[in-house]
Amino acid sequence: MADTHRSRYRRYEGGDPLAPPVDIAEALDAIGEDVMAGYSPERAMQEFLRRGGDDRAGLDDLARQVAERRRELLQRHNLDGTLNQVKELLDTAVLEERKQLARDAMMDDADRAFREMRMDNLPDSPAAAVTELADYDWQSSEARAAYEQIKDLLGRELLDQRFAGMKQALENATDEDRAAINEMLTDLNDLLEKHARGEDTQQDFDDFMAKHGEFFPENPRNVDELIDAMAQRAAAAQRMLNSMTPEQRQELMQLSAQAFGSPALMDQLNRLDGNLQALRPGEDWSGSERFGGDEGLGLGDGTGVLQDLADLDQLSDQLSQSYGGARLDDVDLDKLARQLGDQAAVDARRLQELEQALRRSGAMERGFDGELRLTPKAMRQLGKALLRDVAQRMSGRQGQRELRQAGAAGDLSGASRPWAFGDTEPWDIPRTITNAVLREAGEQGPVVEVRGRPRPSLETSGPRVRLSVEDIEVQETEARTQAAVALCVDTSFSMAMDGRWVPMKRTALALHTLIGTRFRGDQLELIGFGRHAETMEIERLTALDARWAKGTNLHHALLLANRHFRKHPTAQPVLLIVTDGEPTSHLEPDGEVFFSYPPHPLTIALAVRELDNARRLGAQTTFFRLGEDPGLARFIDSMARRVDGSVIAPEADDLGAAVVGSYLGSRGPRGRGGPGSYDEWFGGRGFWVG
């Protein structure tokens, strides 16, 4: 068992081990912005990973480096390296032989003339000349050495094509070294052919590695790993041949027979290539590249470059993440470090960690349909950011200031009262301390304590103060009526076509966040209405793709809104309708959708009937009209007058502030008398939006 104790350690490639954990805050902000811009959460995450962060390279940057590296390899190199080396050695051999012939006075003139004639009439093709001189009796020792170098070079290059590093390892090789190579090739081919027949065992592989393991620095653990490594390089060698011109290929094939002065090596290598191609037909054996540089490559180095190009192509595919089920874990960090350097691998590893952190953070999850969605936690974070933007718009335009809600039971009245068991209102600290001081005036000591529960404090020079339960006063709040809010948002074709899709979603999320964090007692129903209407969770509405089906079914939306109001009979109904078109569809008694443009009178009548039902339920109604269509304006105005509602016509960017302002107006003391105009919501007072 030759590899029982073989170590498989390698250099640490994770970058700075003391670097702080990956920060996903920037990523979540960017993903949230893209989601609001209409991207799905999956695509938004992919886009962030692609472009990277402020101080982090993204996939696009790494892919650009891969493309530049590939282009640089092709533009720097050509495939004439081995042929040029052969030509140089051949020219040296011929020149040294001519010199020797001219110096040798003892040589027979006829013999000299014959030899000089052979030198003069050598073929222009280096391969043909080398073959022609195979049986030549060299007179010059320098010429003979140069010619022998040609055969040695060819043998080492051909082996280096299949076994990386063999060219250097066999420099100045002896006959015993060449015999060992021949024996290894014979045993290797026997093992591969036995494996192809299904007759090999792990012991066969272990015996082979024990005998020839020095030729395989990759330390394969079994015959399949051995075949994988060798087939990849052999396929690269074939692609190199495919990339040569026909003349180059012909020269090389003719020269190969002279490797080590015998065709035996080439016979074994051809046998090896045939075995590998049969065992791994899926490798790229037919591809080619176009080289255009000045730096010649030998056969071994050229094969290495072809392998590098194949690695770069794989990295390009992995970094593109364009195939089904793509994950950043697919990126081969070892190859990336080898091709682009350690920093590229560190950047990719950080992106992998970021993707994993995003998936583990609870910010995104997969639904039953397999689609990635923002979780409620992420929606709350995004909603808070949108709500801050709404507050700035509401306060900045009218010089208002942001106020913070205090108390959970209602709005502060300015009065206070003694605390009673069960009270949750905030303490009136000045009144509480004043009560204690007045009651305990004259007592000294460095302890501030609630009676029976002393707590240490800083030394003071004044009298000590003891707080007693009877000293505590709480701030009184006005009772606040709960509201049942129905936000009906138009999801028809025109909303997407006219650029109102994103503001609609931002508005819904801002209102949802406000109610969920500041008015938890209120009940919000989100209703989207296009060709038909449906209630939606905020996560679904936020991730909703633009809909291109025609139809504005206000009738169906009002049916759902009234059902929501009836489910909460003790709450104040608040109806908010965002639309950019007149009703063009309604529900038939059998549940089918009827569509007509221009609007059919029955469609209008059914919408008006449900609006009247909302008024009878006590709903405060506000229409938010988007667009400048005069017909829509007349229709909305008449609908609002019918139910004593109001109309606001904001710009798309101001829609969120308009809806939130209207809702807050309906929640405050003024709102109890009914919603006011757009100017009233933004005039003179701050709202509880902090």
Most confident by average pLDDT, 165-179, 271-285, 437-451? 271-285
Confidence of residue 667 (pLDDT cuts 50, 70, 90): low
In the predicted model, what is the mean pLDDT of residues 326-343? Answer: 90
pLDDT of residue 368: 62
Element (H, E) at 512: helix 501-518
Q: Are the CB atoms for 642 and 612 separated by under 8 Å?
A: yes
Q: Is the pLDDT of residue 459 over 70?
A: no
pLDDT in tens, 198-216: 999 999 999 999 999 988 8
The residue that leads in pLDDT, 571 or 501, is 571
Better pLDDT: 19 or 348:
348
Q: How high is the pLDDT of residue 193?
A: 95
Q: How many residues are recorded in the chain?
A: 690
Average pLDDT of the segment spanning 467-485: 79
Per-range mean pLDDT, top range of 27-36, 91-100, 350-359, 675-684: 91-100
Tell me the angle at which helices 41-51 and 59-76 cross, rounded to the nearest 10 degrees.
50
Break the chain into its structural domains and give their ranges.
25-77+311-374, 80-290, 410-479, 483-681
pLDDT (0 to 100) of residue 464: 66
Q: Is the pLDDT of residue 406 over 60?
A: no
Range 483-681 classified under CATH 3.40.50.10320: no
Mean per-residue pLDDT over the chain, rounded: 82
Q: What are phi and psi of 474, to 5 degrees?
A: -115, 155
Give the pLDDT of residue 140. 93
CA 327, 332, 337, 340 dihedral sign is: negative
Measured CA to CA, the distance from residue 196 to residue 285 in angstroms comes to 19
Q: How many CA atoms lie within 13 A of 220 on its CB side?
A: 19
- Dump pLDDT digits (tens) for 481-498: 789 999 999 998 888 787
Exposure class string for 309-339: b at 16+ Cβ within 10 A, else e: bbbbebbebbbebeeeeeebeebebebbbeb
SS3 478: strand
Q: Are 463 and 442 in contact (CB under 8 A)?
A: yes
pLDDT digits (tens, 9 = 90+) for 100-130: 998 887 888 888 899 999 999 999 898 899 9
- To the nearest 10°, report the CA torsion of 91, 93, 97, 100: 110
Is the pLDDT at 60 greater than 70? The verdict is yes
Q: Determine which of 46-50, 440-444, 655-659, 670-674 has the lowest per-residue pLDDT on average.
A: 670-674
Per-residue pLDDT at 28? 78
| pTM, two decimal places | 0.61
Lowest model confidence (mean pLDDT) among 143-157, 215-229, 289-303, 382-396: 382-396
Of the two residues 8 and 175, the one the predictor is more confident about is 175
- The owner of tokens 């653990």 is 221
* CA distance linking residue 250 with residue 127, whole number of Å: 9
**Beta pairing partners, 477:** 412
User: Would you place residue 668 in the very low, low, confident or very high pLDDT band (cuts 50, 70, 90)?
Assistant: low
Residue 431 confidence class, pLDDT cut points 50, 70, 90: confident
CB 621 within 8 A of CB 645: yes
Q: What is the mean pLDDT of residues 118-144?
A: 91
Q: What distance in Å separates the CA atoms of residue 192 and residue 215, rounded to the nearest whole number?
A: 16
Least confident of 21-35, 66-80, 547-561: 21-35
Q: pLDDT value at position 192?
A: 95
Query: Distance of CA 512 to CAs 468, 505, 522, 677, Å?
Result: 42, 11, 10, 22
